[in-house]
């Protein structure tokens, strides 16, 4: 039997602060730089930075140097850690509330492919991060999402380690895929454009009068860690795992679970 006067779990104490909750909500949608968060929450930079430090200290938020401008950092909310923290907080209140949450993945249904969301993943070379994301989202949605990827400076071919990690870890074959330029997609309508590269975020083209929802995932280029032989392959394993985690939490936003019909 728990003592009724037990302190609230750390996650509850952290998230209960109005500004920290706003920061969590903004970062749940996209990775942002400090100045962007300042503009979005409407509070001074020193105050935003202070609360970001608290969230980082709790392991809920991480920061990565921008590959576009190393003086900048992108902040990222670890949704997996948040899910466990929320489950832990529920369990502290009552054992029945402590079940670990998992983002629902609706089963493929032919009736739900009409009007399916259109998603574009963008990075610089379209040879590693964005084709990995494209393949994993298509794999996880079973045709319920129309997805493609492209790059601002496409490479001649998909990186062999990207092909290998998808085949070995996820059972997905993209060996026949070829990189394409973002310019080839101008004029097409997208519901979501997700940049995975800090550089391409700065040059992503305008997609017309019906702008998509823009999301940024600041993910390091695994090809930058490569060397002779198999030296760089672990970087592709890590990046693919991070992309797959982000996609699992994106799914409920793209393909909402069907509503139960009341009798």
Q: State how far the Cα of 63 lies from the Cα of 198, in Å rounded to an integer.
A: 13
Cα–Cα nearest to 69, from 109, 116, 36, 27: 36
Catalytic residue, chosen from 52, 77, 123, 255, is 123
Is 120 within 8 Å of 212 (Cβ atoms)? yes
The single residue of 34, 92, 203, 204 carrying the catalytic annotation is 204
Does 82 participate in catalysis according to the annotation? no
The H or E element containing residue 10 is helix 10-15
Query: How many alpha carbons lie under 13 Å from residue 192 in its C-beta half-sphere?
Result: 24
Per the annotation, the verdict on 123 as an active-site residue is yes
Catalytic residue among 15, 150, 197, 219: 197
Residue 4's contacts (CB-CB under 8 Å, 6 or more residues apart) are: none
Region of residue 228 (left: phi > 0; alpha: psi -120 to 50; beta: else): beta
**How far apart are alpha carbons 52 and 73 in whole angstroms?**
12
Phi and psi for 62 in degrees, rounded to 5?
-120, 165
Would you call 204 a catalytic residue per the annotation?
A: yes
Q: DSSP letters of 124-160?
A: SSSSSHHHHHHHHHHHHHTTSSEEEEEESS--SS--H
d(CA 188, CA 179): 17
Active-site residues: which are they? 123, 197, 204
């Amino acid at each position: 039997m728990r003592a009724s006067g037990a302190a609230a779990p750390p996650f509850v104490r952290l998230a209960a602060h109005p500004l920290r909750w706003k920061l969590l909500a903004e970062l749940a949608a996209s990775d942002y730089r400090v100045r962007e968060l300042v503009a979005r929450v409407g509070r001074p930079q020193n105050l935003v930075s202070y609360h970001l430090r608290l969230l980082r200290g709790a392991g809920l938020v991480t920061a990565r140097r921008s590959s576009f401008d190393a003086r900048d950092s992108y902040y990222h909310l670890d949704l997996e850690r948040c899910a466990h923290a929320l489950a832990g907080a529920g369990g502290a209140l009552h054992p029945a509330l402590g079940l670990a949450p998992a983002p629902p993945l609706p089963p493929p249904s032919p009736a739900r492919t009409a009007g399916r969301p259109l998603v574009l993943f963008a990075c610089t070379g379209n040879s590693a991060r964005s084709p990995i994301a494209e393949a994993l989202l298509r794999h996880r949605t079973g045709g319920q999402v129309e997805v493609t990827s492209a790059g601002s400076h496409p490479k001649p071919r998909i990186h062999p380690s990207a092909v290998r990690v998808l085949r070995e870890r996820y059972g997905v074959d993209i060996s026949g895929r070829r990189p394409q330029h973002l310019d080839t997609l101008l004029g097409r309508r997208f519901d979501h454009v997700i940049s995975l590269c800090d550089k391409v975020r700065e040059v992503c083209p305008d997609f017309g009068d019906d702008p998509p929802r823009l999301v940024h995932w600041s993910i390091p280029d695994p090809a930058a860690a490569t060397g002779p032989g198999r030296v760089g392959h672990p970087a592709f394993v890590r990046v693919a795992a991070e992309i797959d985690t982000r996609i699992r939490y994106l799914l409920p936003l793209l393909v909402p679970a069907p509503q139960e019909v009341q009798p």
